[in-house]
Structures are given as structure tokens and as C-alpha cells.
Amino acid sequence: MAFRKFINSKTLLSFFAAFMLLGTNVLMAQTPAATGAGEPEAPQVDWAGVSYYVLIFFLICLGVAVIGKILKIYDLTLKIQGKKGLKWNTVMGVICLVFLIAGIYGAYWSFTVQGSMTLPESASAHGVNIDEMFTVTTVLTMIVFFITQILLFTFLFRYRHSDKRRAYFLPHDNTIEKIWTIAPAIVLTILVVFGFFTWQKIMDTSEKVGDINIDITGHQYKWELRYPGKDGILGPKDFKLVTGFNKLGVNFKKRSSFDDLAVDTMYLPVHKTIRLNIQAQDVIHSVYMPHFRVQLNAVPGLPTFFKFTPTITTAEMRRKTDDPKFEYLVYCNKVCGGGHYNMQAVVRVVTEAEYQAWLSRQKPYLTDQLKKELHFAAAESSKSVSQNRLALNN
Amino acid sequence: MSTLAVHDHGVAHHDEHGHEHHHNQSFLSKYVFSMDHKMIAKQFLITGITMAVIAMILSILFRIQLAYPDKTFPLLTTLLGHFAPNGRISTEFYLSLVTIHGTIMVFFVLTAGLSGTFANLLIPLQIGARDMASPFMNMLSYWFFFLASVIMLSSFLVQKGPASGGWTIYPPLSALPKAMPGSGTGMTLWLISMVCFVASSLMGGINYVSTVLNMRTKGMDLWKMPLTIWALFLTAVLGVLAFPVLVAGVVLLIFDRSFGTSFYLSDIVLNGVPQPYEGGSPILFQHLFWFLGHPEVYIVIMPAMGISSEVMSVNSRKPIFGYHAMVYSLIGITVLSFIVWGHHMFVTGMNPFLGGVFMITTLIIAVPSAVKTFNWLATLWRGNIRFTPAMLFAIGMVSFFISGGLTGIFLGNAALDINLHDTYFVVAHFHLVMGSAAIFGMLAGVYHWFPKMFGRMMDEKLGYLHFWLTFIGAYLVFFPMHFMGLDGVPRRYYAFTEFASMQRWLTVNTFITWAAIMAALAQVAFLYNFITSIFAGKKATQNPWEANTLEWTTPVEHLHGNWPGEIPTVYRWPYDYSKPGAEEDYIPQTTPFSQTMSSNLPHDFEDNPVGLEEQNKFTSTLKANEEVK
């Protein structure tokens, strides 16, 4: 049998282990030379670590082989004594039961310990609906989860093989099949209807007066934020107008563009409806603000928006989470390249007064350099137009 | 149902030459360019296992990065060169690892490795055919798959590294070679590899469908087919309908990348420079991709469902509960899987009304899945369960399918998906329901049909060890990930170090990595068992599991043409286990009702009035005899 071979080749194995050790040692001697002077203190501990772990693995394999051998011998002696040998079906049945109990405890532990590490309560109005929906779904699915897993593993233990018994011939039972087709259908219908209306409410596109428009544009690997000025209107944009100083390509032929503000941190007044205008310049990004239950992809060529109302200020949330450094964040949640894992912007929810004070301190998007550039560009274009005329006349 | 008696020439051939013509085959035509479905199945299996091991090693590499984002491992630099400078995997190469791990596992292991192996092995053997409908195309199918595998792996040899935009390769990231290193030559190789892969998959799929429809043996009507065949048949139908759409999407992407078109590109500014693309839509690619991508997850899971149903029935010594319901739910899943793809796109900016519609269809598809789960539980109830390794893996599949399926109810709900989309919750969900469940179905199949493939048995005890370590390991890896997702931790993040709120998950990440390493090392037990058993395993008997299906009526030694004489006729469904009144606790499909008068039920004669009359006569004489006594 396979195990016996394993044992017989023990010498072979230890040779192999020694070879591995030697091999890694040789490699270890080479690495400092290869990496050169750049890192003289190359951490050699890891190298010893590798051979160490390989050796441990081989020892475990050996241990497993020895245990296998012992079991085999035990099995044989039982058979020699005229007994039936190890009843593997019973062993497995018992392990199934042990797994069930350990699994339930593990799930309980995970729910309490790791479950408490999840997001705090929703900081937006619509998020409360999502959280309610989530609770309902969790309760329903967890009931099904525990019942089905408990049934599965207790059946395995209860109906483990026995020579004395024959299985119960039950090819089908139409009544019970109808019940367990219709029951999930009803539960799912409830969830669908509940979810459908929640979704429609969140995605409600009707405009309301007093919404604050904020422009958020993603590019590798930064979020650009633009607030409207006093007129409350964001100036139009065109990607063809993008230059070094006009990163977003704002069109300054329109008056509404002149008072737009460029900001670093997204300040939001509490209890005001925010309309985030979401765009991307190069690849798909995703505006993800988990604390507000907000997410929408930023797709180049497809401007979208998401409306939400923050309800808890940053200061309040710091108190609630007992974390003085707590910040709301915008994450990028669609893989966008090497810097994807660190593409973030800070969001601060503040009172209306604080918001106005902050707003008055912000600098306009139209910087002096940009003014110069635009002026220059306008002069150049008029020159080229006149040249074109000349060319046509010729 | 018309049942063609096929390959008569095959029978004649065998009668003339007997066994001799095997020895005429050269090494090349027997083992390499084989047209025998059993050999092709083995080729698919071994290539699939090889790819699985490679993809698993890739996953361990990026798990190490996630567990120890601040540590350096000079060994990585030795192994990976400039992909891991200074002992740390680079951010771009991390994404390459994630991408190639996903691509290989979804397509090369769980599509080709699973469907390719078991459709090739089981379809002819379980429906009673001498080979596939077109063996040559079958051979091509394998070699296109092999070519695709080689091209996919060769992208590791490219200077800038393999494709790295995620396995879904959303443009513009994948369309703009300047957007990231992996979108250069690596992406080109990815696209070429996938075109070859789809060609392979189509040739296989057409073969499977035509073989099942046309080449069933006498008596094998559709309602007498084992559930494995139903599952593999419907999987093939799905593949044939869905994969061409991926090719369409991929070809347009190739045009965008290489010929300056703008199918998926519009309004792009790269590194501060406006690009000339206009009028395209990145969302179009997502629609095309997920039109394949969602049926794809059912292409992955349905064969596993079929295999588990069969294995559980055999080893519970009980008929599968609700055979018809099982088939109808498979058909329901097949049809519905084409109208749910939008649930991957709730937050892409797609019209919110469409999101609502896709939510409804998505939650409907949970009903047939629930029916299947309950039927499996009912199959175990009052069974006489033999714990073979195959049975354990089938049970593991059911357990994973429940755990992972239930979280699908969260993600299928558009409102909840807003906050869960692309977080670790999704990673946990699909690794349980599609990754672990499908791979467990595949392993159940390998353990169960190993005697049929190699004529030898695998070691059971090592199988037990393999099962428990992998089963526990998979739960330890994926269960905590749900909570990371609920904390809003996004997937595909190179390190959790840049966000203060994520740092408390670092210890959990270390734990998950070590659980993953344990589960990966458990696969050594499988590989050792698999390889040594091929050469030195205990010789198998003809029907080692005492199963009813046709493949166990073929001789242990493989024949070209499967059965030495005539193909056996089928008289009954494949699940007559523990029938009351029968001598044994199983009655093979080839046993006519006339030989089992004591165990026949009125139900067995639904479309057979003559048989019913005979049976009634038998029971009445039996009763008369009893009265005499």
C-alpha cells in the first residue's frame, strides 16, 4: 500500500530534506551577492525560515505516514482477532458531528467578534433603509443556514452505514417537494418586493431645489473635487479642454464656470441633500463611501450621479465609534492600476455654519496660471483663425 | 424518443479484430493525439489539475503579500525577479497574480478541467455509446485547450508581466496599454489565449450535445439518464450559447487595442493628455462579458451538482430524491442564467430601472437552487451512508453551496449590493459557491471515477485526510472574509496599510493566509495519492461502488469502443438503490424488470402496459400462493 512505500523510502526522504536545506543555504549565500551593496543587511532570517518550514512540512508528512501505519496495524490486529476492523464509516460520522458542533461555535465566535468589527450605523438617510433590508435578509438567511447545515451533518451521523440496515426507498414525494418549492418562492418574493422598492427609492432621480452639486472625478490615482460657487451651478466640462492647469477640462466660455471651487477635502453640510456628479478620466474607478452606503462606478464617457443625505457629522461619529481619529472616506473600489489600493479622499460632515465658513476659505478653480494659459490660448486661436483665412484667400 | 443504435461498424470492427488492434496504436496516437474519449478525459483532467496547482500557488503568493505587507522575502525576488523587487511583490504584479489566478481557476480548471474531464469520460460511458459523436473534433478540443493554457502561462515570461486588470478585464484599463504594465503584451496574450479557449470549449460543447441527443443506447430515453448526464448536457448547451458572446466582446477589445477603434472607449484623458477616442461605451463590454460571465458560473457549478447528485445517491444507497424536480431545476437554472447577468452591474451606472429588473430575475433563480439543496438533504435522510472520499467531497459541495448560495441573496439584491459590491463579501460569496463547491464536485468526481479512468483505486485514508483539511481550510479562509466585506474592505487591494480603518483586519488576513497555506499543503496528500495510485493503487473491480449506471458494466481494462460485445440495453432509471424486495441493495440499469419481479412497483410501468399486466399476474399469483399457505 501507499503508506508502506512512504515509510520504506524514509531514508530517501531525509536525503531530500537535507538536499533542500543545502540548496536553500547555497541560494542564501548567493542572494547577498546578487542584491549587492544596495542592501547589505539582507534579512537572512527568512532564508533560514524557508528551509525551516520545508523541514517542518516533511516532518508532518512523516508523522502522518507513521499515524497511517499505526492505524493500519491496529486495523490488521483487530482483523486477526476476528473482529471487524476499524469502522471508518462510524469514525467519519462522528467527525461530521464534531465538525458541526465546532462549526456552530466557530460561526458564533465569528459573528460576535468579527461581526462587531463591521461598519458603524449608516451615516446617511437612505442607508438606514439599506441596513433594515440587510437585517431582514440576514435573519432569514441565517435561519436557513443553521437549519440546513445542522440537518446535513446530523443526517450524516444518524444515517451512517450499517450492515444491518437498508436505506429507505423514497424516490419522490410530490407534496413535500411542492412545499419546499413554494416556501422559498414566497420568502424570495417578499425580499424582492422589499428590495425593489428600497432600490427605486434610493435611485430616485427627481430633482429637488437646494441640492448641493459636487463634482467628483477619478483619475489614476486621485479624486478631483469641484464645488459650485455662489451661483450654485457647476460649469460645463469637455475632456478635449484638459491641460496641465485645467485638469478637469472646464469650459470657461460659460459664465457659470468662473466661480467654481477646487477643493481637497469633501466637506458636506449635515442633513442637506448632496448630488455627487461622478466621472472618470482614464479608466473605470468607483466612488465608494461605505459609511454612507454610497457606491457608483466612475466611468469615462458616462457621467453618473448619486444623491444622498448625510445625517451624522464627523464629530458625532467620532464620539459614537469612540475613535478620535475617525474620518469618513471615499475609496476607489474598481481596480484601476498599481495605485488602486491607495486612492482615497477624506469626507467631513459638518454643521451648516461650519460648512459656510469652510466654503468661504476655498480657492477658485480658475487659478492665475490657468487664467494666463487661457488668455494665451485665446490669443493663439484668434491668430490661427486669421492665418486660416489667409490660407483660404490664397 | 428516437434512440439510434450507433456505431454498428464499431461492433463489427471489434468482432473481427478482438483486442488486437490496441497494440497497433503508436505511443503518439494512443497517449498524445488520442481520439478516444477516455484518454481525452484523462488529458483534460491532468492538464486541469496542473493548472489548478499553478493557480493555487499564485493565490498563496498574493496571500503572503496580504498577510505580511511590510515584510520582505528575498526568496520572492529570487523566484520572481523584477516582479518582486527587494523581496516584495510589486503592486502591478500583485494584480497580475489576482487576475491570472481568477482566469485559470474559472476557465481552465473549473470549466475545461471539470466539464472537459467528466463530459468526455461519462457521456459515452453513461449513455452507452462507443465514443463521442466526432472524436477528431474532440481531440482538437483538447489541443486548443492545451494551446490556450500554454499561451496564458507564457504571459509570465513577458517583460511587463501578465494581464492585470482583474479576470473580468474591464476596458478602458485593459484597452489602454499605457494604463498599466499588464495591459501591454500580457493582455494581448490573455486575449489570444481566451479565443483559443473558447474555440476548444465550443468544439467540446457541440460534441457533448450531439452525443447526448443522438447516441444513447437502446432503452436510454432522456428520463433514464443519470443526473450527471443531464447536468453535463445542459452545461454544454449553456457553453455553446454563451461563449460566442465572449468572443464577440474580446474581438472588439482587440480592435480597440490594436486597430484604433472606439467600441469601448470615450472621453479619455491619459496622464493629462486627451485621447482621440469618442463615442464608445465601457458598459457595452461589461454587458457582453457578463452575458457569458453569468452563465459561466452555472457552467462551473452544474457539472459539480450533477456529479454530487450521482455520488450521493450511490453512497447513500438511496435513489436521488425528486429526480424529476432535480432535472427541472437544472433546466430552470439553464434558462434563467441567461437573464440575470445585470446583477454584476447594479452600480456601474447602468439604468437603475434595469437594475430592478435584474434583481427580480436573480432572486427567482434562487428557487431552483433551493429545491436542489432540499432534495440533496432528503436523499441523505434515512439513507445508509458510506463515507467514501467521493461521498465526503459531495457532501462538502452541498455544505459550501448552502453557505455561498445564501450570501447570493444579499448580493442579488440591488439595494444591498450598493455597499457590498466589489468588497470581500463578494470574494467570500463566489469562492464558496462557485470556487469551493465546484472544486469539491470535481474532486468527488475524481475520487469516484478514478477506478474507471485508471483501473485502480485511490487510497481512502489519504482521501479522508485530504477532505477534512481542505474542507476546514476553505471555511477558515472564506468565512471571515464576509465580515471584512461588511466593514467595506474593497477587494483587489494590494495592502491594507494605507487606510487606518483597515489595519485592524491585518491579523485576520494573517490568519486567513495560514489557513490557505494549510489547505494548499493538504493538496499534496491528494497529488501524492493521485499519482501513486495511477501506478501502484489497488486494482479495481468492475463495479467497486456497487452503482447502477452503465459505465460500471464496461471491463476494467479500457477498450476502444468501451464494450467488448454489443452495447447493453437499458431498462430502468439509474437510481434503483435499496428497492424493497430486491436481493441486492442496487439494481443496475441493464437489469430488465422481468428479472426483478419481487421488487417492481406499479410506478415502474407507467408507459409499459404489457409489463404492467405481467407484473399484475405475478403479484396475484404471489398473493394466491400466500393464501394457500
The domain total for chain A is 2
Unique residue bearing C-alpha cell 481552465: B108
Q: Is B501–A329 a contact, with Cβ atoms under 8 angstroms apart?
A: yes
How high is the pLDDT of residue B192? 95
Identify the H or E element spanning B128. Answer: none
User: A308-355, pLDDT tens digit by residue?
Assistant: 999 999 999 999 999 999 999 999 999 999 999 999 999 999 999 999
Which range (A203-217, A246-260, B226-240, B329-343) has the least confidence? Answer: A203-217
How high is the pLDDT of residue A391? 45
Q: Which residues of chain B does A155 touch, with a Cβ-Cβ cutoff of 8 Å?
A: 377, 380-381, 383, 385
Average pLDDT over residues A197-203: 90
Angle between helix B366-380 and B282-316 (nearest 10): 20
Does a structural domain hold residue A165? no
How high is the pLDDT of residue B351? 86
How high is the pLDDT of residue A22? 57
Unique residue bearing C-alpha cell 422559498: A184
pLDDT above 90 coverage of chain A, percent? 58
Pick the residue with more confidence: B24 or B543?
B543
pLDDT band at A389 (very low <50, low <70, confident <90, very high): very low
Distance between CA atoms of residues B458 and B448, nearest Å: 9
Cell of A159: 444515517
Which one, of B492, B488, B430, lies nearest residue B180 by Cα? B492
pLDDT above 70 coverage of chain B, percent? 96
Nearest CA-CA distance, residue B394 and chain A, Å: 12
pLDDT band at B137 (very low <50, low <70, confident <90, very high): very high
Q: What is the dihedral of CA A76, A82, A83, A86, to 10 degrees?
A: 10
Phi, psi of A284 (to 5 degrees): -75, 130
Unique residue bearing C-alpha cell 458494466: B553
Nearest CB neighbour to B418, from listed A42, A106, A295? A295
User: B19-41, pLDDT tens digit by residue?
Assistant: 444 556 788 888 888 899 999 99
The whole-angstrom distance between residue A133's C-alpha and the CA centroid of its chain comes to: 20
How high is the ipTM of this complex? Answer: 0.90
DSSP string, B33-74: S---HHHHHHHHHHHHHHHHHHHHHHHHHHHHHHH-TT---H
pLDDT band at A83 (very low <50, low <70, confident <90, very high): confident
Average pLDDT over residues A205-225: 85
Residue B316: CB atoms within 10 A of its CB come to: 29
Cell of B434: 462557485
Q: Is B170–A334 a contact, with Cβ atoms under 8 angstroms apart?
A: yes
Nearest CA-CA distance, residue B141 and chain A, Å: 33
Q: Which residues of chain B does A220 touch, with a Cβ-Cβ cutoff of 8 Å?
A: 179
Sequence-separated (6 or more) residues with CB below 8 Å from residue B220: B3, B127, B128, B550, B570
Phi, psi of B595 (to 5 degrees): -90, -5
How high is the pLDDT of residue B24? 66
How high is the pLDDT of residue B601? 84
Nearest CA-CA distance, residue B190 and chain A, Å: 17
Phi, psi of B73 (to 5 degrees): -125, 95
Residue A292: which CATH number?
2.60.40.420
Distance between CA atoms of residues B435 and B114, nearest Å: 12
How high is the pLDDT of residue A300? 93
Nearest CB neighbour to B416, from listed A134, A291, A340? A134
pLDDT band at B611 (very low <50, low <70, confident <90, very high): confident
Average pLDDT over residues B228-246: 96
Q: Is A329–B499 a contact, with Cβ atoms under 8 angstroms apart?
A: yes
How high is the pLDDT of residue B551? 93
Pick the residue with more confidence: B17 or B516?
B516
Distance linking the first and last C-alpha atoms of chain B = 45
Q: Is A205–B352 a contact, with Cβ atoms under 8 angstroms apart?
A: yes
Which one, of B244, B150, B232, lies nearest residue B198 by Cα? B244
Q: Is B359–A103 a contact, with Cβ atoms under 8 angstroms apart?
A: no
| Closest chain A residue by Cα to residue B487 | A118
Which one, of B542, B371, B534, B394, lies nearest residue B459 by Cα? B534
Q: What is the dihedral of CA A75, A79, A81, A86, to 10 degrees?
A: 50
Answer whether B285's CB lies under 8 Å from B252's CB. Answer: yes
> Is residue A221's pLDDT more than 80?
yes
pLDDT band at A393 (very low <50, low <70, confident <90, very high): very low
- Residue B82 in contact with partner chain A when CB distance is under 8 A: no
Q: For residue B16, with 0-12 CB atoms within 10 Å meaning exposed, 13-18 middle and 19 or more buried, which class applies?
A: exposed
How high is the pLDDT of residue A150? 96
pLDDT band at A258 (very low <50, low <70, confident <90, very high): confident
Q: Which residues of chain A does B513 touch, with a Cβ-Cβ cutoff of 8 Å?
A: none
Distance between CA atoms of residues A92 and A83, nearest Å: 19
Look up the domain containing A359 and give its range. 212-375
* Cα A198 to Cα A191, A203, A319, B361, B538, distances in angstroms: 10, 9, 29, 17, 60
Domain ranges, ordered by start, for chain B:
34-536, 561-628
Distance linking the first and last C-alpha atoms of chain A = 97
Q: In what order do the strands lie in the sheet with A266-269?
A: A266-269, A345-350, A328-332, A285-289, A294-298
| Closest chain A residue by Cα to residue B406 | A141
Cell of B474: 476553505
> Is residue A256's pLDDT more than 90?
no
Q: Is B269–A162 a contact, with Cβ atoms under 8 angstroms apart?
A: no
Nearest CB neighbour to A290, from listed B271, B316, B419? B419
Cell of B109: 480548471
Average pLDDT over residues B252-279: 91
How high is the pLDDT of residue A232? 84
Distance between CA atoms of residues B530 and B414, nearest Å: 44
| Closest chain A residue by Cα to residue B319 | A171
How high is the pLDDT of residue B189? 96
Average pLDDT over residues B88-106: 95
pLDDT above 70 coverage of chain A, percent? 81
How high is the pLDDT of residue B239? 95
Distance between CA atoms of residues B6 and B9, nearest Å: 8
Nearest CB neighbour to B349, from listed A134, A296, A333? A296
User: A25-35, pLDDT tens digit by residue?
Assistant: 555 544 444 44
Cell of B561: 469502443
CB crowding B93-130: b at 16 or more within 10 Å, else e: bbbbbbbbbbbbbbbbbbbbbbbbbbbbbbbbbbbbbb
> Is residue A384's pLDDT more than 60?
no
How high is the pLDDT of residue A394? 43
Which range (A292-306, B91-105, B320-334, B587-601) has the least confidence? Answer: B587-601
Domain B34-536 architecture: Up-down Bundle (1.20)
Average pLDDT, chain B: 91
Unique residue bearing C-alpha cell 478653480: A365
Average pLDDT over residues B148-152: 96
Nearest CA-CA distance, residue A122 and chain B, Å: 11
Q: What is this structure's pTM?
A: 0.90
User: A343-382, pLDDT tens digit by residue?
Assistant: 999 999 999 999 999 999 998 888 888 888 877 555 555 5
pLDDT band at B415 (very low <50, low <70, confident <90, very high): very high
Q: In what order do the strands lie in the sheet with A274-280?
A: A261-263, A222-227, A212-219, A274-280, A304-308
Phi, psi of A85 (to 5 degrees): 85, 175
Nearest CB neighbour to A295, from listed B87, B95, B419? B419
Pick the residue with more confidence: A389 or B169?
B169
How high is the pLDDT of residue A36? 39
- Taking CB atoms and an 8 Å cut-off, how many pairs form between chains A and B? 378
> Is residue A203's pLDDT more than 60?
yes
Distance between CA atoms of residues B323 and B300, nearest Å: 21
Average pLDDT, chain A: 84
> Is residue B435's pLDDT more than 60?
yes
Average pLDDT over residues B268-274: 89
How high is the pLDDT of residue A10? 57
Distance between CA atoms of residues B326 and B319, nearest Å: 12
> Is residue B50's pLDDT more than 90?
yes
Nearest CB neighbour to B274, from listed A177, A240, A297? A240
pLDDT band at B4 (very low <50, low <70, confident <90, very high): very low
Q: Is B179–A205 a contact, with Cβ atoms under 8 angstroms apart?
A: no
| Closest chain B residue by Cα to residue A295 | B418
Distance between CA atoms of residues A122 and B433, nearest Å: 29
Distance between CA atoms of residues A96 and A152, nearest Å: 9
